[in-house]
Amino acid sequence: MTPESMETTVASPVRGFLGAALIAIGALIMLLCGGCGALFFVAFLVDTLAHPNDAAMLLMPLVLGGVPAAVGLGLFVVGRGLRRPRHVPPENPAP
């Protein structure tokens, strides 16, 4: 990195830590809630082949596991946004 490019970005260690924490929490929520929901969805899908009247049960893992997984995705995206440095325009632009 050149000195000019170092002046155009501002990275805060607090924002970096908070972003990393949100990324970790979001990834864990997505992995655990989404993975558990996916396993139950597959189990209910296989059960639906044997008992077609229970097809409405396929919505349960999507709601109970999908909504928290979407919240985890949101935390992950916000954390990535916090980890990116802000660009500050240079005070004296070169002519």
- Per domain, the residue ranges of the chain are 12-83
pTM beyond 0.85, yes or no: no
Over range 64-86, report the average pLDDT: 91
Distance CA 73, CA 30 (A): 6
State pLDDT tens for residues 60-73: 988 889 999 999 99
Question: What whole-number distance in Å separates Cα of residue 20 and Cα of residue 23?
Answer: 5
Query: Alpha helix (H) ranges present in the chain?
Result: 3-7, 13-29, 35-50, 59-83
Over residues 22-67, the pLDDT tens digits come to 999 999 999 999 999 999 999 999 999 988 888 888 889 888 899 9
- Rank 9-18, 42-51, 82-91 by mean pLDDT and report only the highest: 42-51
Query: What is the predicted pLDDT for the residue at 93?
Result: 63
